[in-house]
Amino acid sequence: MNLIFLGAPGAGKGTQAEFVREKTGIPAISTGNMLREAVRNKTSAGLAAKEYMDRGDLVPDEVVVGILKDRIGEDDAGNGFILDGFPRNVRQAEILEEMGVDIDLVIEIHVPDEKICARMSGRRVCEKCGSSYHTEYKPAKIEGKCDLCGGDAVQRDDDKPETVLSRLKTYHEKTAPLKDFYAGKGKLKTVEGQELVDDTKRLTFEAIGC
Ligand code: AMP
């Protein structure tokens, strides 16, 4: 099964993608996590991506597509994958089709903009393994530490308020048109993001039927 998670920054698509990975064993592939790792490791993709990420813009398609192709070519993705954060514009969706990737279902996690800004301030991401937490909605067992690997769970640079506004603008201009793109193919299901992460999880599992 090939799934896509779509949603504004901070809507919780990454967290839901992880829940589905835990339940189904299908690997979750986050282009944002891979790009952040590339930036940390100062690879050529990372160096090309950094300035765009810092201002809340999309990284050029060829940079992201390069790392995505490598990742979905790995063994564990042979029986399907969950894409978290890709595609981010209609061109990337077309590239997926040109690659022969058949998408079964697109889950949009929908949260109104007003709620997003409040949520983002509490988000923490493990520097080592990329797991996400939220100070209020999904706290780590030990504040500031990742439950899974013990790495530092910190606020991402691009979760700072000024960058969040720019990322929301980018989402509405470039990513939101994907809703019509996939709705037109009968593949879109929208899940309303709830106050409690477990309630959203239940709705997400229902939508996927897993
Ligand atoms: P995310 O963790 O999914 O919110 O991604 C963080 C940042 O990485 C985004 O704001 C973009 O700058 C970049 N990014 C992630 N995925 C993509 C993509 N598919 N296309 C372009 N840029 C991306």
What domains can you pick out in the chain, each with its CATH number?
2-26+79-112+168-208 (3.40.50.300)
Residue nearest atom 1 of ligand 1, based on CA coordinates: 32
pLDDT tens string 117-143: 878 888 999 999 988 899 988 899 999
Q: Are 120 and 156 in contact (CB under 8 A)?
A: no
Q: Indicate whether residue 125 lines ligand 1 (CB < 6 A).
A: no
What three-state secondary structure class fits 159?
Answer: helix
Q: Which residue has 């919780």 as its token pair?
A: 12
pLDDT tens string 59-112: 999 999 999 999 999 999 999 999 999 999 999 999 999 999 999 999 999 999
Give the Cα separation of 79 and 77 in Å (integer): 6
- Rounded to 10 degrees, the C-alpha dihedral 198/200/205/207 comes to 170
| pLDDT, position 158 | 85
pTM: 0.90
Q: Indicate whether residue 31 lines ligand 1 (CB < 6 A).
A: yes
Question: Which pair of structure tokens corresponds to residue 99?
Answer: 């690659």
Confidence band, pLDDT 50/70/90 cuts, at residue 175: very high
| pLDDT, position 120 | 84
Give the Cα separation of 118 and 21 in Å (integer): 27
Q: Are 3 and 72 in contact (CB under 8 A)?
A: no
